[in-house]
Amino acid sequence: MGLDDDYNAIYNIFVSCHGADETLINEGAEKTRKAISAVREASLSSENESLEEIQTPMLKFLFLEFYLGKILTQKMSMDQRLSSLRAAKGSFATFWRVLSLAGDEYRRCKASRNLLSK
């Protein structure tokens, strides 16, 4: 299975995880963690790379941290709930950091374009 297939499987779990059984939640979390590691190992993007430099087909992989956070919030087992919520918070923070960097870059590009058009 390639990264695209893994992404599609993770996305399907993500959209159906609300109220899903614990087995599907655990499977989704594990698949998502593995995909995040695979994306990092494949160096599909890096933090010092601008948003414009990331190839369009690779943009979807930026959402994996968000998907993992959402999937982890669905764990209802009380013995795993607190650790799952902490891990979800970490995933959401990572995703937010990516969005913030992209937003900062977008604002810089827009400001540069405005200056050049004057």
User: Which range of residues forms the domain containing residue 90?
Assistant: 3-117
As for how many domains the chain has, the answer is 1
Domain of 96, CATH number, reads: 1.25.40.540
C-alpha 27/C-alpha 71 separation (Å) is: 10
> pLDDT digits over 20-65, tens only?
888 999 999 999 999 999 988 887 666 656 666 777 788 899 899 9
pTM for this predicted structure: 0.79
